[in-house]
Amino acid sequence: MSDLINSSLRELSAALAAKKISAVELATLFLDRVETLNPTLNAFITTDREKTLAQARAADETRKLGAGSLCVPGTPLRGQATASLPLCGIPLAHKDIFCTQGWRTSCGSKMLENFVAPYDANVVEKLAAAGMVSLGKLNMDEFAMGSSNEASFFGPVKNPWDTDRVPGGSSGGSAAAVAARLTPAATGTDTGGSIRQPAAMCGLTGIKPTYGVVSRYGMIAFASSLDQGGPLAKSAEDCALLLGAMAGFDARDSTSLERPAEDYSRDLSRPLDGLKIGLPKEFFGPGMDDDVRVAVEAALTEYRKLGATTVDVCLPNSGLSVPAYYVIAPAEASSNLSRFDGVRYGYRAPDYDTLEEMYSRSRAQGFGSEVKRRILMGTYVLSHGYYDAYYLQAQKIRRLIAADFSAAFEQCDVIMGPTTPSVAFPIGSKSTDPVQMYLSDIYTVSANLAGLPGISVPCGFGAGQPDKPMPVGLQIIGKWFDEARMLNVAHQYQQVTDWHTRMPEVTK
Ligand code: GLN
């Protein structure tokens, strides 16, 4: 049974279809792993065995009776045969930013420590409608602000490859849980890199779709014009299946795009002859560690062997992406987080004399220091006199960055580079230096500013402790709505390399 722990979603689906295992047995297998390994990793912050097993029993029932029996309130039934529900009975876990009816949704914050949402996020609904079984909720940086998962009210998450190191952030719980095989897959969100960066640091595949492809309904807002949900899993093939179940128009999110449903697996096996890969010189300059450079260049060699050619492209404004992001994201966050006032949601300070004191003490006590830093920055750049100097300038830069990508994509089909400048760093090494921390997003934020899809795939190992080499991620950025092509490019690489199949010691 233990080989099931490292199986792909397709293999799990086949095992369920062949009745080699039931959804209840599969859920139990993973819940037991969570119980044993989570005290070390701190990836899960909420589990509920009874709820999980109830979902698993329903999935077993669905597999027995056919998909028509699976009815999630408010969600249209999709397909009639179980063959149309390949994910039915497969466990996954949700980043704790997604609202889940009946389960606590904390967003990694004391502010929402006891918040139980009255409804499911669209992503949660859709994956449940596909028959997936939730194992619980995953740790994250508070309100998704961070690159290391050290900014969680529930404490840092440990990287399963080396528990002295961070798993990346803000979807660090998602990445650590999948890497340690506490779950076969997880949801995450990416505002400036929070799916791709932890995927890279934990040796996983993670995709941030084009802005608007996945509904933000019920996904607690950090920076609304940048936030996108997406999956983290072992391979591009798994991610394609999951994205198909997560994506789609949702009238409850005004930025959700009305586009026909897509089969993201349709191009997986397409050969790569003739593929043009753009290499922006800005992604290969100083600032990238040598071990990362060596692994990324070896991946490019592999792509050339597969028939791809590389062309140098230019993203002249990418040096401004981190400063622009750290104006726009905090500006939106300061507005989004104003709803947490101790009145309507979450934490309220126990002692206060006036209304104003209640607001200020609730926020002072309920938010952690990184969140407060973002609210201060955001309020500052939006304030009278600074709005034009900072916020408006950042918006103009954002437009230029998107235009740079449009121009680069005239010359190539996808853009490649490193996902992160370094491998996962030791816990505590950057937590007192916000600028250093923000710089770990240098290669990921541009795709969010431009709204483009991006994927990180494992491409080798860099230096860690001598006995604990750390994974390196290759980033592939696609054209708008070209997820299927991007997944094809990732999958073909995974057909000729085995980096994505390497797993940390805890999974053996
Ligand atoms: N690390 C970035 C930040 O702290 C991105 C976070 C994210 O994508 N949620 O804002």
Dump pLDDT digits (tens) for 331-389: 999 999 999 999 988 999 999 999 999 999 999 999 999 999 999 999 999 999 999 99
* Torsion 401-150-337-433 (CA) sign: negative
Contact 458, 205 (CB under 8 A): yes
For 157, residues 6+ apart whose C-beta sits below 8 A from its C-beta are 41, 42, 43, 139, 149, 166, 167, 172, 173, 176
The one catalytic residue in 109, 170, 174, 422 is 170
The one catalytic residue in 109, 174, 194, 256 is 194
pLDDT (0 to 100) of residue 2: 64
For 104, residues 6+ apart whose C-beta sits below 8 A from its C-beta are 46, 96, 114, 115, 116, 137
Rounded distance between C-alpha atoms, residue 326 and residue 125, angstroms: 32
Ligand 1 mean position to 171 CA, how many Å? 9
Dump pLDDT digits (tens) for 247-276: 999 999 999 999 998 999 999 999 999 999
pLDDT (0 to 100) of residue 299: 98
Q: Is 170 among the residues known to form the active site?
A: yes
> Identity (one letter) of the amino acid at 368?
G
Rounded distance between C-alpha atoms, residue 361 and residue 344, angstroms: 15
Can you say how many angstroms the Cα of residue 328 is from the centroid of all Cα atoms in its chain?
20
Q: Which atom of ligand 1 is nearest to the CA of 147?
A: 1
Ligand 1 mean position to 32 CA, how many Å? 31
Name the pTM for this structure: 0.96
Q: Which atom of ligand 1 is nearest to the CA of 189?
A: 9
Dump pLDDT digits (tens) for 278-317: 999 999 998 999 999 999 999 999 999 999 999 999 999 9
pLDDT (0 to 100) of residue 80: 39
| Selection from 476, 430, 470 nearest residue 163 by Cα | 470
All domains of the chain in start order, with CATH = 2-246 (3.90.1300.10)
Contact 462, 177 (CB under 8 A): no
Q: Is 335 among the residues known to form the active site?
A: no
Read off the DSSP letter of residue 95: E
Q: Which atom of ligand 1 is nearest to the CA of 325?
A: 10
> Identity (one letter) of the amino acid at 275?
L
The one catalytic residue in 7, 8, 95, 446 is 95
Ligand 1 mean position to 193 CA, how many Å? 6
For residues 116, 118, 122, 127, the Cα torsion angle rounded to the nearest 10 degrees is 70
Residue ranges of the chain with per-residue pLDDT less than 70: 1-2, 67-83
Q: Is 338 among the residues known to form the active site?
A: no
Rounded distance between C-alpha atoms, residue 156 and residue 176, angstroms: 11
Ligand 1 mean position to 147 CA, how many Å? 6
